[in-house]
Amino acid sequence: MGTDKSLLGAKGELLAESRLKEMGYAILEKNYRCLPLGEIDIVARHGSDLVFVEVKTRRSELFGSAAESVDKKKRRRITRAAMCYVSEHNLGEVDCRFDVAEVYMKNGAPVTVEVIQGAFFAEE
């Protein structure tokens, strides 16, 4: 049985996926793993861009925004996993973007789902 935190995260990912689809994103893959490099919550196409989405679900902004929790170390892991995805799928030169989906919940119900397009650049 999952922990409360993992259940919150899973619910947040479903809400983010729904919001992304509303915005015209085509979901290609969820929870892509390139071990030991990292994991990407959602891989999608938006227009001509290949988009790697990190989903952050929170109950409040008491300890900062959800997007602020995507620190340099996390950005580096996402970047490396994204490079692995591009290589594994033989995509060659492709325009990539890194978005963050912020999901805020209260009493188990979504309050807001915001997508920050181009939230960060690739980290080496």
Nearest to 24 by CA among 117, 86, 111: 117
The string of pLDDT tens digits covering residues 1-34 is: 457 778 888 889 999 999 999 999 999 999 999 9
Task: Give residue limits of the domains in the chain.
Answer: 4-120
Q: Kindly give the pairing relationship between strand 96-106 and strand 109-120.
A: antiparallel
pTM: 0.90
The string of pLDDT tens digits covering residues 71-100 is: 999 999 999 999 999 999 999 899 999 999
Q: 110 preceded by cis ω (within 30°)? A: no
> The domain at 4-120 falls in which architecture?
3-Layer(aba) Sandwich (3.40)
Kindly state the DSSP code that residue 25 receives in the 8-state scheme: P
